[in-house]
Amino acid sequence: MNDHTENDVLRCGGINMAHLERLIEGLGMTVVWVEQGAAIPGTHWGEPEAGLIGDRLYLRGDTPVHSALHEAGHFACMDASRRERLHTDAGGTAIEECAVCYLQIVLAQELPDVGSARMQRDMDRWGYTFRLGSTRAWFEHDADDARAFLVERNIIGALRWSAERDNHRP
């Protein structure tokens, strides 16, 4: 986490929560809202990061949107046996982690008050790092393996997201 810019990221309380809930529910999860100041169950990185336990995504108003979409992306990439054991640490392989980062950018496009450009900026501000120096450069020029992972598992469609990635210039 990049402490000097962490306040610059979009938080769950700053967007339409109903849109976020519908998106997360579409992944087979339930959003559980935690009261401000209360501990977030299942948070791997500590508060205010999102928490994962089974098919529940725990969020507070101050949880960064990128964290909510990242943890939901982990759930989407898991098989049923991993989901059954899921508690706090999503685990997974390096390529899955890349796929999750890719997916959170794709999912952000489905939220009218977020979008992929904002997600990429927030990921950079929070301290995500990629070989090409920025989230946008990685997404546009170095993420074919992550996209292939998602397509092979039918998490995203090959043509739809390929075209959007190739034509989208935030």
Q: pLDDT band for position 131 (50/70/90)?
A: confident
DSSP state of 168: -
- Residue for token digits 């046996």? 81
| DSSP codes joined into one string, 74-101 | HHHHS-HHHHHH-BS-----HHHHHHHH
**Is the confidence at residue 168, as pLDDT, over 70?**
no
Percent of the chain clearing pLDDT 90 (strictly above): 74
Q: pLDDT band for position 158 (50/70/90)?
A: low
Average pLDDT over residues 5-22: 90
Over the stretch 75-95, which tens digit does the pLDDT of each residue have?
A: 999 988 898 888 998 888 999
**Is the confidence at residue 117, as pLDDT, over 90?**
yes
